[in-house]
């Protein structure tokens, strides 16, 4: 009854206004419109993915495209599910934070609640150009997938790993690296790694085989951090998600690529409804200026002590054999990795990595005097969004500190990504197995690289 009255009142009200000719197609005074208020927010924060030929399911550029999605947009932004950014805003400040400002969320909510009016097209901002291609001038070196991937029109495509040799004849230091998808309609996310193939194996069409023709199992492919062969994070170069597929190391720092290793393209594809192909590339830029510090990025689960089910595992416990399996139906299974720092270090950012049961991950720093600080908390981890969290200001880590990474896993039916809640989960590379890889990026302050650390391309 009451509702009826209110609606009648509104109708009469707007009738009255219209009859008076005060407002024409205009929304009520102060009410946000698409053209003036909402489009700028979408163009700035959404259309990098929500446009034709990009990864998101629909374009959010024109009013006609956006209008049918308005309720869903409200829901996703209020719940902070879009844009994808998983860090708890209470901790840390990140240079690449893509979360919406509260006032932008409020604007979208007010617009949707006000009936999602179009407004005046003259107010529309210019549709931003998408950065296509390389982020800077052409890379010094490009390594591409040695084969063109053929993708089916329908169905689910397993994570693909394709390898290629890096064309370096000595160790090189790189200033920046970019993963450039060949086909953005199908590359959902991807990562580039450096890996070591076992003795006696060769690459055939991007896949490693032993001399007798047997394929090399992935667990026999080594990662850059030889001390913890299973710690994949150690060798990760770059992650691609739409709008971000590059890493540039801070001035004076660079990442070393050891000679003789191969590039591993870890590709997570989605189908587009028609057969597609992709050939993704990695571009490398060498430093132009003197590099003093090497960027390291093992995980806090790698060289450190790992604790699971209340037991301290052997050093390097992140080797899969050392970690107990996650029981069937466990909904909050916990593991921690503690990495002590015996020298002063500078920390630049984090890439938490788990698979489909990954539920949360956090990193905290314990100073030598026992003081503790939360550096990053990802309360709702999402395997689909492999994000790098780049600290707005690098964090100084005094010698004697330690960084603890704590992760939880949900192997219950409540986890909608869980492929098999009634099975225990092993530690391995496939997305249906699990991984605990709390990667970080840092350098040691007192470890100064020699002057001659640039590649011979300078000649
Ligand atoms: C980094 C890429 C990216 C950005 C940025 C992004 N989205 Fe999305 N969005 C996606 C992808 C991919 C999906 C589909 C899969 C999913 O839901 O994760 C999606 C799904 C959605 C959906 C749900 C669609 C459905 O089928 O129900 C809505 C609504 C949405 N996005 C709105 C937004 C809004 C609004 C913004 C900006 C404020 C935004 N997104 C920013 C990639 C993005």
pLDDT tens digit string along 109-160? 999 999 999 999 999 999 998 777 898 899 999 999 999 999 999 988 888 9
Nearest CA to ligand 1 atom 24: 57
Q: What is the CATH number of domain 141-294?
A: 2.60.120
Looking at 2.60.120.230, 2.60.110.10, 3.40.50.1000, 1.10.3720.10, the CATH number of the domain 305-444 comes to 2.60.120.230
Maximum mean pLDDT: which of 12-26, 240-254, 445-459: 240-254
pLDDT band for position 223 (cuts 50, 70, 90)? low
Mean of all residue pLDDT scores within the chain: 85
Ligand 1 midpoint to CA 255 (Å): 33
What is the pTM for the complete model shown? Answer: 0.82
Strand partners, 215: 209
- Position 308 scores a pLDDT of 79
CA of 100 to the centre of ligand 1 (A): 13
Distance in Å, CA 50 to ligand 1 centroid: 7
Mutation test of ligand 1: which of 43, 50, 187 has the most ligand atoms closer than 8 Å to its C-beta?
50
Residues with Cβ within 8 Å of 410's Cβ and at least 6 positions away in sequence, in order, are 330, 331, 332, 333, 357, 359, 418
pLDDT in tens, 282-324: 999 999 989 999 888 765 545 567 787 777 775 544 444 567 8
For CATH 2.60.120.230, the residue range(s) in the chain are 305-444
Pocket of ligand 1 (CB under 6 A): 42, 45-46, 48-50, 55-57, 69, 72-73, 76-77, 82-84, 100, 241-243, 384
Instruction: Pick the closest to residue 255 from 147, 353, 176, 309 (CA basis).
Output: 176
Report the separation in Å between the CA atom of 75 and the middle of ligand 1, taken as the mean of its atom positions.
11
Q: How far is the CA of 72 from the centre of ligand 1 (A)?
A: 10
C-alpha–C-alpha distance, residues 233 and 301, integer Å: 9
CA 73 to ligand 1: nearest atom: 29
Pocket test for ligand 1, best of 51, 79, 84 (most atoms within 8 A of CB): 84
Across 263-281, b (16+ Cβ under 10 Å) vs e yields bbbbbbbbbbeeebebebb
pLDDT digits (tens, 9 = 90+) for 402-443: 999 999 999 999 999 999 999 999 887 677 888 888 888 899
Top mutation candidate among 83, 381, 385 for ligand 1, by most atoms within 8 Å of CB: 83
């Amino acid at each position: 009854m009451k509702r009826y009255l209110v609606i009648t009142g509104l109708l009469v009200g707007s009738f009255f206004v219209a009859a008076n000719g005060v407002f024409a197609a205009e929304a009520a005074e102060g009410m946000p419109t698409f053209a003036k208020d909402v489009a700028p927010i979408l163009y700035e924060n959404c259309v990098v993915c929500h446009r034709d030929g990009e990864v998101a399911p629909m374009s959010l550029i024109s009013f006609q495209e956006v209008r049918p999605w308005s309720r869903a947009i409200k829901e996703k932004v209020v719940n902070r599910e879009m844009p994808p950014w998983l860090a708890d805003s209470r901790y840390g400040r990140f240079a690449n934070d893509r979360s919406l400002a509260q006032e932008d969320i409020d604007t979208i909510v007010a617009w949707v609640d006000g009936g999602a009016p179009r407004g005046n097209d003259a107010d529309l901002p210019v549709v931003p150009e998408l950065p296509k291609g390389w982020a800077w001038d052409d890379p010094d070196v490009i390594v591409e997938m040695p084969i063109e991937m053929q993708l089916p029109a329908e169905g689910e495509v397993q994570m693909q790993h394709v390898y290629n040799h890096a064309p370096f004849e000595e160790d090189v230091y790189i200033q920046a690296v970019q993963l450039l998808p060949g086909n953005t309609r199908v590359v959902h996310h991807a990562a580039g790694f450096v890996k070591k193939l076992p003795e006696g194996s060769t690459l055939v069409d991007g896949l490693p085989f032993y001399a007798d023709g047997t394929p090399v199992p992935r667990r026999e492919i080594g990662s850059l951090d030889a001390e913890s062969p299973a710690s994949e994070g150690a060798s990760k170069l770059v992650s691609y998600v739409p709008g971000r597929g590059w890493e540039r190391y801070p001035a004076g720092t660079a990442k070393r690529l050891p000679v003789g290793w191969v590039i591993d393209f870890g590709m997570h594809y989605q189908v587009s409804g028609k057969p597609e192909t992709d050939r993704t590339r990695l571009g490398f830029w060498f430093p132009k200026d003197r590099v003093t510090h090497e960027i390291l990025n093992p995980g806090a689960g790698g060289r450190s002590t790992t604790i699971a089910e209340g037991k301290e595992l052997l050093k390097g416990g992140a080797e899969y054999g050392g970690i107990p399996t996650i029981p069937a139906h466990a909904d909050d299974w916990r593991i921690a990795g503690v990495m002590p720092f015996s020298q002063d270090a500078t920390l630049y950012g984090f890439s938490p990595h788990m698979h489909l049961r990954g539920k949360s991950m956090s990193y905290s720093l314990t100073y030598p005097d026992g003081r503790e600080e939360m550096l990053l908390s990802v309360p709702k981890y999402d395997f689909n969004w492999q994000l790098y969290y780049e600290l707005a200001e690098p964090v100084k880590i005094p010698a004697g500190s330690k960084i603890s990474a704590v992760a939880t896993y949900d192997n219950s039916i409540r986890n909608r990504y869980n492929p098999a809640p009634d099975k225990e989960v092993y530690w391995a590379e496939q997305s249906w197995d699990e991984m605990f890889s709390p990667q970080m990026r840092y350098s040691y302050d007192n470890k100064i690289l020699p002057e001659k650390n640039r590649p011979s391309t300078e000649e």
